[in-house]
Chain A
Amino acid sequence: ETGVTQSPTHLIKTRGQQVTLRCSSQSGHNTVSWYQQALGQGPQFIFQYYREEENGRGNFPPRFSGLQFPNYSSELNVNALELDDSALYLCASSYERGLQETQYFGPGTRLLVL
């Protein structure tokens, strides 16, 4: 039990639609990151938010965007869905940053794009 929750657990969308995924972090965790995990692969970093501002982005197009709120919740929005967006989307929160940092992952949202 990491104290990080995500909703919904599963989602089916069609190509071209838009989707919003939600994450609730532990109280006091000012950093939240989002990862995409394709089937059979390790997670890939999408972006990170610190105190409600994006402070880093991986190799993902602008149609992937996010928000972080003062109540330790956050959102991942994906516009113009493509078939390749089908994956498990994980959020992870952390309290302290540094080489010994622990990121606590939620159980993920599994997105299927048809």
Chain B
Amino acid sequence: TQLLEQSPQFLSIQEGENLTVYCNSSSVFSSLQWYRQEPGEGPVLLVTVVTGGEVKKLKRLTFQFGDARKDSSLHITAAQPGDTGLYLCADLNTGTASKLTFGTGTRLQVTL
């Protein structure tokens, strides 16, 4: 059974600070996805990465995929209160069913 560990579990920072959260898998990712979940909402897809070593940017968010496809990081530059939420990494396995296996999550709080 694949295990996805995320660190840190909790992060509280002030507006304008930079941060990095990490995701490590016990096995190679099929397709790595990052989600953000806000209170009272379902997870929303931020990015999908498939190729080892891939780097994707989404405004102030930078996603890196490890060369061995077993780890990933999400870096946020100049955090804003709107970045507050639960950040989840997930492996999308497209076998008979397209199944998402989620990590434990990093809860981010950005204050003014």
Residues of A that sit less than 8 Å from B by CB: 2, 4, 31, 33, 35, 40-45, 47-48, 50, 55-58, 90, 92, 94, 97-103, 105-108
Contacts and interface: CB of A to CB of B under 8 A. Distances in A.
A92 B104 contact: no
Contacts of B41: 105, 107-108
B94 A58 contact: no
Nearest to B9: A40
B65 to A, nearest CB: 13
Interface core residue of A31, A35, A47, A106 (most chain B CB under 10 Å): A35
Nearest to A9: B40
22 contacts: A33-B99, A35-B100, A42-B102, A42-B104, A42-B105, A43-B102, A44-B102, A47-B97, A55-B96, A55-B97, A56-B96, A57-B97, A90-B42, A92-B100, A97-B94, A98-B94, A100-B31, A101-B94, A103-B45, A105-B43, A107-B42, A108-B42
B90 interface: yes
B95 A56 contact: yes
Contacts of A57: 97
A65 to B, nearest CB: 16
Nearest to B97: A56
B88 to A, nearest CB: 5
A6 B90 CA distance: 22
A43 B31 contact: no
Interface of B: 4, 30-31, 40-45, 48, 50, 88, 90, 92, 94-105
A44 B45 CA distance: 16
B30 A107 contact: no
Interface core residue of B42, B44, B94, B103 (most chain A CB under 10 Å): B42
A100 B103 CA distance: 19
Contact of A43 (B43, B45, B92): B43
A100 B97 contact: no
